[in-house]
Amino acid sequence: MRVLVLAAISFTTFKWVLIPIRTEGSSMLPTYTPDRMHFVNRLAYGAGGPVRGDVVAIKMAGPRVLYVKRIVGLPGESVAIAGGLVQINGVPLSEPYVRHRGPWDVDEVTLGPREYFVIGDNRGMSVGEHDFGRVEMGRILGKVVF
Amino acid sequence: MARFAAIVLTAVAIGAGAWYVLTPADSGAPVRARLRALSDMVNRSTVDGRGAEGRSAQLSAFLSEDVDVDLGHGAAPIRGRHTVIGMAERLQPRIAAFRLQFEDMSVVMGPSGDTADVHLTAEFIRRSITTGEESLDAREFMIGMRRVGAEWQIAKVTAVDTLK
């Protein structure tokens, strides 16, 4: 009976609460290296939305394939990238997690009321090879916790 | 404690049984199967040694005559089966280096039952010839399918920008 209860709790936890993921690609280096297991907390944003600096999992067509990106811009803010530096409402953002920066330039965008600006930590990549941009809250599956 | 656990497990079992019985049959299953057959064909063609002609004939069967492919990012739409096949033939050496996998397929059937809209994530898994390491690229698509005779064919492919 204990085994059954444990199995039921494990199934519920890892299916609906703490989702295991395996990272691929280099866009979150050096924070997240490829081929490592991490967990996404689906309940992290039940009471409030993500905050700047959170690493989140973003759904594509569903929950099996996800982007893992960092939140840099919050709803209503203006975000631009100039010379590799992210600027929020015209003020450069301090990002201690970024080790290498390419000379990226991205025009300013203003986020909608439910939009966040997400980007990977590896800014040493070519800007064309790095997926980043605005994402709706509804696509954010949860917070990558460890 | 044991009685409580037994009650919970019984309730879960009854719920699962009710869900299984009451959930309507999946009318999108043939559409999913058709797309899986397409990815199987693409992946098989990387190892089966068939010539470009044989592969084109296989691929043709999955596409409608007037198929419309919009990959976004400013790329011009690709229209017509012959154009798509021609491009696939030219890209064959590159296509042969990756595997294609469809994930998170959700199917919405049209009212007539002869059309369907599919939302999916396509994974492109490339293996380096030199190191053997695999790298993964993924992209979200909306695919319009149409039943022609007994077979489902792709009529429209639109790339979706997950991040805008």
The 3-class secondary structure across chain A, one letter per residue, is CHHHHHHHHHHHHHHHHEEEEECCCCCCCCCCCCCCEEEEECCCCCCCCCCCCCEEEEECCCCCCEEEEEEEECCCCEEEEECCEEEECCEECCCCCCCCECCCCEEEEECCCCEEEEECCCECCCHHHCCCEEEEHHHEEEEECC
Three-class SS of residue B138?
strand
Mean pLDDT of all residues belonging to chain A: 93
Q: What is the DSSP string of B97-126?
A: TEEEEEEEEEEEE-TTSSEEEEEEEEEEEE
Q: Give B104 or B50, the one with higher predicted confidence.
A: B104
Beta bridge partner(s), residue A109 = A79
Helices B52-60, B81-90: inter-axial angle, 10-degree rounding: 150
| A118 within 8 A of A71, measured Cβ to Cβ | yes
What is the average pLDDT score of chain B? 85
Indicate the pLDDT class of residue A15, thresholds 50, 70 and 90: confident
| AA identity, residue B63 | L
Model ipTM value: 0.85
How far B142 CA lies from chain A's nearest CA (Å)? 9
Residue A117, min C-alpha distance to chain B (Å): 9
Question: B136 CB near a chain A CB, below 8 Å?
Answer: yes
Instruction: Measure the CA–CA gap between B119 and B106, rounded to whole angstroms.
Output: 5
| Set of chain A residues whose Cβ sits within 8 Å of the Cβ of B2 | 1
**b or e along B103-126 (b: 16 or more beta carbons within 10 Å of the residue's beta carbon)?**
ebbebebeeeeebbbbbbbbbebe
Q: Work out the pLDDT band at B50, boundaries 50, 70, 90.
A: low
Report the relative pairing of strands A78-82 and B98-109 from DSSP bridges: unpaired
Residues forming beta bridges with residue B122, ordered by sequence position: B102, B139
| Residues on A contacting B at a C-beta cutoff of 8 Å | 1, 4-5, 8, 24-25, 58-65, 67, 69, 118, 131-135, 139
Question: Is the pLDDT reported for residue B49 higher than 70?
Answer: no
CB-based contact A91:A78 (threshold 8 Å) = no
Do the bridges between strand B151-160 and strand B63-70 make them parallel or antiparallel, or are there none, so unpaired? parallel
Interacting residues of A94 by C-beta distance below 8 A, sequence separation 6+ = none
Residue A8 has a pLDDT of 86
- Cβ distance B105 to A61 less than 8 Å, yes or no, reads yes
